[in-house]
Each structure stands twice: as structure tokens, then as C-alpha cells.
Amino acid sequence: MENTKLIITDKISTQTIQVKKDQTLNYVVFLDKGWEETQRLTFEFNEENATVNFLAIMIGAKKEKFPMETISLHKTRNTKAYYTMRSALFDESEVDYTGNLKIEKTAGATDCYLAHHTLMLSKNAKTHTVPCLEIENDDVKAGHAATIGNIDEELSFYLESRGLDKKSAKILLIRNFLESDLKNILDEKDQKKIIEKIAESLKLIDLKNV
Amino acid sequence: MAVPKSTQKLIKNTLDDYKFGFKTKNTAVFKTPQGGLTREIVEAISSRKKEPKWMLDYRLKALEIFEKKAMPKWGGDLSGINFEKIHYYLQPQDKPKTDWNDVPKDIKDTFEKLGIPEAERKFLAGTGAQFESEMVYHSLQKELTKKGVVFESTDVALQKYPEIFKEYFGKVIPAHDNKFSALNSAVWSGGSFIYVPKGVHIELPLQAYFRINAENMGQFERTLIIADEGSSVHYVEGCTAPTYSTDSLHSAVVEIIVKKGARVQYTTIQNWSTNVYNLVTKRAFAYRDAEMFWLDCNLGSKLTMKYPAIFLMEPGARGEVQSLAFANSNQHQDAGAKIVHNASNTTSKIVAKSISKGAGRSTYRGLLKVSKGAKNIKSHVSCDALLLDGASRSDTYPTMKIEESEVAIAHEATVSKIGEEQLFYLMSRGLTEEEAASSIVNGFAKPIIKQLPMEYALELNRLLELEMTGSVG
């Protein structure tokens, strides 16, 4: 029997989580307060048929720093892990992220993917992203992607042409960017919770410079 | 369905033959002793070359830096390098020739076997051939000489064009850049010096061929390319060495300056024997509206650590790196690319492909940096790895450091094996299993190979081809 476990949290801390046999672990983390020391979160797969869906939503403002690392350690067959991170960086905020997918010799039939998308909303924000792959087995599907960019001016222009003012158009696009993976992992009730958190957090941000 | 045994065996057998492993008997005119690198060795090299005082000072300073710097702790395993055993300088003949007939027979025969003089006649604008530490042959088409193009051994250029040489030498890659650039700066010898005057386009490629022949040899060539405003040049280098049980070291420094509106393509087909450590520093500065293109194919060597770099210094500059790495048994290809956007309106692209087989290991290590103040930047990086068996390993370590907001940057990487569905499909269309596997590998490498001049593309295709003759059963 497959069982699903959901964790919703608002901080990342150094720890190793053992993913159990036949378990699907959905791990959603909402981050809008930075920290100093690099936090290292490891998901270790020692049992078969386990899956992790990891989603991090990050809103950085002022001088907040987000130094973090995720490690996906695949030691046995038939495991799956999907990591998505979305960062919206305002002011002088910084994200420093290393995401490693490690597939050992014994981990056949692994399927894993990691994506880090960053929206740079201030010229003083900084992104340092290192998505790594260490693959020692050929029976795998593994990949990663990273994108770093700004608000699409054409989309913003379109929304303005439909009657939204500049600020509302931008907020709508930022929210859409941050919220777009929620529906893949969460039910409607939990989606709502996160959406509210995003809205609250964005309210506190000075959007003049965006 | 797993990949059938016969395919696995076929894959294993491919590329296990190294056809450039022959040795040539050659008595050196001069060679430095083993026992480690000393001030005396550096002085001996410099005085042998009758260099100006500033170059000797530069070398000695670099030696100090080399001694101070620690070995890199990242990347491949460098513990097998024994600096005590290496011959740092080996002079095979008195001075570079411009006619193959003047080159000593044994050396000439070596290059004949490698097909160099023939290639020169057919499709090259100029050729250089380095044997051990020295360029033994260098020539350039007469029309190009008339236009003011300079294509010389770096040693000759230091004597003939001291001013321009001093202006650019060591400016792109200073001696203190890393331990191996310091080593190269201390004992450099040979390599090519190219100057392309304003507005001159060299249609055919210039080629340099590097051959290590002696055992325990260290080859430290130094290449400096200056493309003046609005000019263009394509430089191709090839490298091979005999197979020995002891290790050799190849540590080159390549500096390129691409001025306003100029274009430089630098193509490498690295096919060292598997006892060569290949630790190379390559970097280009591209100025306004200039274009730099590295095409980097790494097939040979024991360990390669090489990350061709492009610094985009002024608006409109464009940089591109395409690389193909093949890691076989006992090989580690730690290759990649570095691009630094230092100016607004600059674009870059990196395409890296690697194939690992027979417990070989390939690593992509890259850096993409957007400096503060550089706006409207576009960059795309893609890395694909193909693993041909379960014993091989593939790593990807891309780093992105972005300090500006007006950027559009995308990175993607995939790791895969030869898909059973792909094999099955091709076999259902009438291909044998071997032909199907061969097609898939070739298809994977094709986007890089097709960028090569045709003659090289054919050679590389042949190297990669999965020949089925005699491999089944």
C-alpha cells in the first residue's frame, strides 16, 4: 500500500530524512526570512519504491540571505525525487543554493529531476545556484534545470492593456510565478494556505523599485 | 529489457584501440635533467632560448608562485603527478623550419604518420608542428604573410616582435592564476603566436599539432592569439602521444584577445594517450561586438582538467563554448566552460556533451557569471551526458553567479543511457542492434561534430563509430 506524507514548513534546517519504503513524501517549504549559516537538507533513499516531491518557495527582501543545500541520496532501486525551487528576490536579498542529485551504483531505475527558477526583481539581488548531478549508474533518468530572469515585459504590457495598473500587473505575475507548482503537490485547502502566505509576504515588500 | 549483452560487449570494444601510440626514436639536442624543477632549470631554458631579461624575470617570478601554490583539491585525482620525474624542457632540433624537407627525418616521419603535411597541402592556411618542447615546423601561406598576418612559434615571436609580445603576454592569464598556469609561465616553450591585422579574414584554418614523444615528458606550450579589429581566424589544434607506462604532463596556457568586431574560433581535438595528464588553462577576452568560439573535443588523456573561458569585456560581445568529452576506461574528463559577462548587451551559449563508458568518468564543471552593472544579458547552458554502461560515472557541477536583474539565463542538464525504446525502434526499422547503438551514439555527438571542419569531422566520426566487424560472438 502506498502512503503519502505531507510536511509543510517555513524553515530549512540541516537534517537527514530517511524516505520509507512505498512512501510518497511531499515536502513544501515556504521561506521569507533569511538566515546566516548554510542549511543542508538530505533526503536519503535506502528503501525501494519511495518518492519525494520537494517544493521550496522563497521570497527574499531587504538584506535577507538564503544559504542552503539539498541533497538527494539514492542508494537503492526504484526511487523517485523531484525538486523544485522558486525564488523571487527583491532589494539586496541573496540566494545561495546547491542542489545535488547523487545516484549510487546500487540505485538502478532512479528517476530524479531538480529545477531552480529565480526571478530577479532588483538590480542589487544576487543568485548563486549550483545544481549538481553525480551519477554512477546508467539505469537512471536524471536532469536539472535553472532559469534566472526578470518579469517578462510583454506579459506585463499585456496585463496593463487589459486594464491593470503597473503594480498590480507585476504582483500578479510574481504570484503566478511562485504559485505555479503548488497544484502538483497540494490539495486545494493546502494550496490556499500557501497562497495566503505568499500574498501576505508580498504585501510587506516595497515594490517601488521593481 | 536490458541492453543486450552483445551490445554491451560491442560498446566495450569500441575505442579501446589507440592508433597514435607509436614511438619515434629521437635524440634530443638538449634536455633538462629529472629531479624536480629548480631555478637552474628555468635559467637554462631561458638562456638556451636567448631571451630578454624581462622574460627570465617573469619566469623566475612564476616559479616562485608555482612553488607557493598548493595543488588543487577539487576536480580529478592529481596524486599521480610526480614533479621530480618530469623533463621540463626537451629540444629536439636546433630551430624551427619552414620547409618539411629541413625537418629531421625521424620527426618528419612522425608527422607524416599523423597526416600533418598532407593536411597542410589540402586544406590549411598555415601549419605548426610541435615535437616535445619546440615547434619544429611553422609555415604560413604567402598571401597571408603579405597581408601582415603573423603565425610563428611563440619563441620566434618573442625575438621578432618584442613590443607587441610584451604588450599582450600574460595579460589574459597571469602567472598567479593557478598552480599550472604558474608552472607554464616558468617553463613555457613552443606554442603558436598569431596576429591577424585589422580587417583581415583568414578563410582556411590555421593548425598546430602537438606531439609528445619522450617518456616522462612535460610539454608546456604557450599560445597567444591576437585578432585585431574586424578580423577573423580559425585555429585548430590536435594532440597525440605514445603510450608509456609512466605518466607525462601537458600543461598549456592559451591566451586570446578578440578585438572590436573580430571573430576567433579555437578548435581542439585532444587525443593524448592515456598516460598523459592534461591540465590546461585557456581564456579569451572578447571586446565590443567581438565573437569568441571554443570548440573543444576531449577524447584522450588520463585526466583532463580544462575549462575554456570567455570574458565578455565590452557591449555586444558574444561567447560560445561547445564541447564533447569521451571518457573510457581509466580516464577522467573533467571539462567544462567559464563565461563571465562583464559588460551589458552580451550573450553566451554553452553546449556540453559527454559520453562515459567502461568505468570512465566524465565531469562537466562550469561557471556562468554576470557581474554587477552588466545589463541585458542572455545566456543558455545545456549539458547532456550519455552513460554507456553501469560502471561509468557522470557528474555535472554548473555554477551560476548572477548579480544583476536584467538577465535571461537558462540552464539544463540531462543524463541518460541508450534507450531500449530507441534501440527497439531502430531495430524494427531493419538496423542490426550494433548499427542502432552506433547511430544513437553518433546522433548524440553530432551537434558538436558538425561544427568541425569536414576533414576533422570525418576523423572524429570514425573514432566514435561503433564498428561491428568481429565484435559479435
- Helices of type H across B69-225: 105-113, 116-123, 142-146, 154-160, 162-168, 179-187
pLDDT digits (tens, 9 = 90+) for B414-450: 998 888 888 899 999 999 888 888 888 888 988 998 8
A150·B411 Cβ contact <8 A: no
Rounded-to-integer distance, Cα B321 and Cα A67, Å: 30
Of A112 and B473, the one with more pLDDT: A112
A128·B401 Cβ contact <8 A: yes
User: Which is nearest to A118 in space by CA: B370, B241, B363, B234?
Assistant: B370
Tell me the residue type at B46: S
The whole-angstrom distance between residue A28's C-alpha and the CA centroid of its chain comes to: 8
% of chain B with per-residue pLDDT over 90: 63
Q: Quote the pTM value.
A: 0.91
Q: Kindly tell me if the per-residue pLDDT of B471 is higher than 60.
A: no
Interface residue of B402, B403, B406, B414 to substitute, partner A, most A CBs within 10 Å: B402
Predicted confidence at residue B455, as pLDDT, reads 78
B396: nearest CB among A123, A133, A140: A133
For residues B155-173, average pLDDT:
95
Closest chain B residue by Cα to residue A96? B401
B416: nearest CB among A105, A121, A141: A141
Q: Kindly tell me if the per-residue pLDDT of B187 is higher than 60.
A: yes
Structure confidence at residue B16 as a pLDDT band (50, 70, 90) = low
Predicted confidence at residue B472, as pLDDT, reads 29
Does the beta carbon of B400 lie under 8 angstroms from any beta carbon of chain A? yes
- State whether the Cα torsion B460-B99-B204-B193 is positive or negative: positive
- State whether the Cα torsion B155-B161-B164-B166 is positive or negative: positive
Residues 86-145 of A with CB under 8 A from B: 105, 108, 118, 120-123, 125-145
How would you classify the pairing of strands B303-306 and B318-327?
unpaired
A122·B405 Cβ contact <8 A: yes
Structure confidence at residue A56 as a pLDDT band (50, 70, 90) = very high
Does the beta carbon of A152 lie under 8 angstroms from any beta carbon of chain B? no
For B334, list phi and psi in degrees, rounded to 5: -105, 90
Strands (E), chain A: 3-9, 15-19, 23-31, 39-45, 51-60, 65-74, 80-89, 94-103, 110-120, 126-135, 140-149
Residues of chain A neighbouring B413 (CB-CB closer than 8 A): 131, 133, 143-145
pLDDT digits (tens, 9 = 90+) for A195-206: 999 999 999 888
pLDDT digits (tens, 9 = 90+) for B217-250: 999 999 999 999 999 999 999 888 888 889 999 9
Q: What's the ipTM?
A: 0.89
pLDDT digits (tens, 9 = 90+) for B299-328: 889 999 999 999 999 999 999 999 999 998
Tell me the Cα Rg of chain B.
22
Rounded-to-integer distance, Cα B359 and Cα B393, Å: 7
Which grid cell sits at B363?
Answer: 565531469
